[in-house]
Structures are given as structure tokens and as C-alpha cells.
Amino acid sequence: MARTPDHPVAPLFVDRWSPRSFTGEPVPDAVLASAFEAARWAPSASNVQPWRFLIARHGDAHWDAFVSLLAPRNALWASRASVLIVVLSELKLERRGAIVDNISHSFDAGAAWTNFAHQALLLGWHTHGIGGFDRDAAREKLAVPGDFAIETIVALGRQGALDTLHVDFHAGESPSTRRPIGQTVFAGRLGQPAFASERDAA
């Protein structure tokens, strides 16, 4: 299904989607470094930069541990990715000499992962964020300290052919749609159209 934006945007934003079919081929270090460099420059409240990334390359000493964290259904396809990335965010920050809660830790980590995904796409690689995994096991197996949240796991790889993907996922292997901005952006309170075109339609 082709994606068509309702308003002008750079093609990057509609071209990014989350396939499940991957070739498993190695990702060059230069590609990984470039994508993480993009993540590095994400917006960050008070420049705290709470994001951290743990990575496993396909077949390396960490790979089996990372795959074991995935829900069985997700492991069927994500185990064919080239890299798995555990995204963390630091829960605390230092302010005026005191350690306080960082209320924007997840928001900022999300911005960093978005930068990563877009830069990877520019270099010809796809990503797929995964929510279905065992966070308790991840904390234990990967020795994640308690002052970090475990946000998600990201699969990175070259998009593979549909016939290499488990048949259960064939029907959903296409870019998804998005609701129009008139159902997302409101003037002052939910339900109040923000744009003249939406008000006229109502």
C-alpha cells in the first residue's frame, strides 16, 4: 500500500515503515555509527540525553541472549534481523546539586530512536520497534541498573523478500496508514478543530 501524505513533507517521513522481513546480512559499522550519531543529536530536555543503547549483532556473543528476551511470536521474525537494540532511558537527573526524577526520559529516548530510524532509512536499512519482550528478563540478563527504564527493542536490517518471512505475517507486511491530522491536532481542547479546513468540514 502506497503512502500519500495529505500535506507536503519530506519523503523520508512516509517512506519509513516497520517491516518484519529481514535478510540478516551484516550492518557495516559505518552505518551503525551514522545512525547512532543521528540519535546523539536528538532534542533533549536540559540536554540530559537520557538515552542509552545496548546492541547485539546477528550471531555475536550477545545475540542469543537478546533473542531470548523476545515474545515467541516476535522471535519468529526478529531473529532474522541484523542487529537488535535495547533502548534504555535514565530515570534521574542532577539539578542544582540534587538528584531528581527526569519526567521526560521516555519522551527524549523516543526522539533519539526516531532520529536513529530515519538515518538508518536514508542509508538503506529498515527498523522495527518491538514492545513484546520480557523486561524483567532483560534487566537481569543484560544487567540493566534500576535507575534505567527499558523502553523497547529495535530490530535493524535490510528488508528481505516476503517469501523468507513466516507465513503468519504475510498479510501485514506492508506500510500502515495514519489518521488525518484533523483527528490528532486540536485548538485548545480535544475535539476542537485546529485548522480552517477541518472547521469547514464540521
- The answer to whether residue 195 sits within a structural domain is no
Query: CATH number for the domain including 72?
Result: 3.40.109.10
Q: Is 47 left (phi over 0), alpha (psi -120 to 50) or beta?
A: left
- The answer to whether residue 64 sits within a structural domain is yes
Q: Count of CB atoms within 10 A of residue 83's CB?
A: 24
Over the stretch 19-65, which tens digit does the pLDDT of each residue have? 999 999 999 999 999 999 999 999 999 999 999 999 999 999 999 99
- Grid coordinates standing for 34? 551514522
Over the stretch 154-184, which tens digit does the pLDDT of each residue have? 999 999 999 899 898 999 889 999 999 999 9
* Sheet bearing 126-130, strands edge to edge: 51-57, 83-90, 148-157, 126-130
In angstroms, rounded to a whole number, what is the distance separating the alpha carbons of residues 163 and 159?
Answer: 12
| Structural contact between residues 146 and 44, judged by C-beta atoms closer than 8 angstroms | no
Q: What is the CA radius of gyration of the chain?
A: 19
**Predicted pLDDT at 2:** 77
Over the stretch 92-148, which tens digit does the pLDDT of each residue have? 998 888 899 999 999 999 999 999 999 999 999 999 999 999 999 999 999 999 999
- Rounding to the nearest 10 degrees, give the CA dihedral for residues 5, 17, 55, 101: 50
Domain that holds residue 129: 11-165
Over the stretch 66-86, which tens digit does the pLDDT of each residue have? 999 999 999 999 999 999 999
- The answer to whether residue 6 sits within a structural domain is no
- The answer to whether residue 31 sits within a structural domain is yes
DSSP conformation class of 109: H
- The answer to whether residue 48 sits within a structural domain is yes
- The answer to whether residue 97 sits within a structural domain is yes
Q: Count of CB atoms within 10 A of residue 122's CB?
A: 14
Q: Which amino acid is at 197?
A: S
Q: How many domains does the chain have?
A: 1
- The answer to whether residue 136 sits within a structural domain is yes
